[in-house]
Amino acid sequence: MIKCIIIEDEPLAQDVIKSHLERSGRLLLKGVYRNALEAKEALEKEEVDLIFLDIQLPGMTGLEFLRSLHNPPLVVFTTSYPEYALESYEFNVIDYLLKPVSYERFSKTINKIIDGNIFKTSVYPLKPVFRDHIFIRSNSKFFRIGFSEILYIEGMKDYLKIHTLEHVIVTHQTMAEMEGILPPDQFIRIHKSYIVAVAHIKAVFGNSVDMDRILLPIGLNYKERIMNFVAGKSSGL
C-alpha cells in the first residue's frame, strides 16, 4: 500500500485529511507532522511515497522544505492560498488542494494517484519530471526562466539577482534554496555569493571566472571545486 504522511500545522486541517484518508482506505498514513523539521527527520528514518503538504508552515514553508530535499516523494499540496499554484509546479506535484478540502475533491486526487497508475506496483515514487526552466516570483509576478537563459546568480542575504541574457530579476530567495532547484550538471557555485551557468563560462584564470567579459570572483572555499571542474573530474553545485 502507498505510504503517506501529512505535514500540516493546523489541527483542524490535520483532522480533515486524516478523516479523508480513513474513509478512502486506499493509502497508509505513517505520520502527521506540524512543521518541516519534524517531517525531515521522519523522512530520514522511514520510506515515504507521498506527502500531503501545507505550503504555509512555521519556520520553513512547504516550498522551501521541498527545495531542501534531494529526492522528495511525490506531493499533494494543501493550502488556503491559490496564488501559490504556479510556483508549486516547479515540483513533481500530483495535485493542489484548496482548503477546506472536501471529500469529493480529495477522492479525485486519490483516484488520480491509484487508478491513474501514478505509482507502479513497486510503490516507489516516480523520478522527478525533467524541467528546462523555473518560475521565479518577483514583484507579485511569476517569470518563466529557461536554464539556458541564465548567466549567473548573485546572492544578497535573503535576495537573489538572477542575471539572464536579456535582463536581471530580483527575487526573495536564498542561495541554498536556489541550489536545490538548479540542475547540478548545468550550474556550479564558485563563491558564497555566486552560482554560474557552466555553458556560459568563457575562461577560468587566477581567482576569477570570465562570464563573457563579466569577471566574477572564485571564493577560497570553492577553489578546489572549480579546479576539479576545469580538469574534468567533477562538476555541479
Q: Of 49-53, 66-70, 118-122, which one has max mean pLDDT?
A: 49-53
User: In this model, does residue 120 exceed pLDDT 50?
Assistant: no
Domains annotated for the chain, with CATH where assigned, are: 2-114 (3.40.50.2300), 133-230 (2.40.50.1020)
User: Model-level pTM?
Assistant: 0.52
Does the structure show a pLDDT above 70 at 119?
A: no
Grid coordinates representing 45 are 528514518
pLDDT tens string 10-32: 999 999 999 999 999 989 999 99
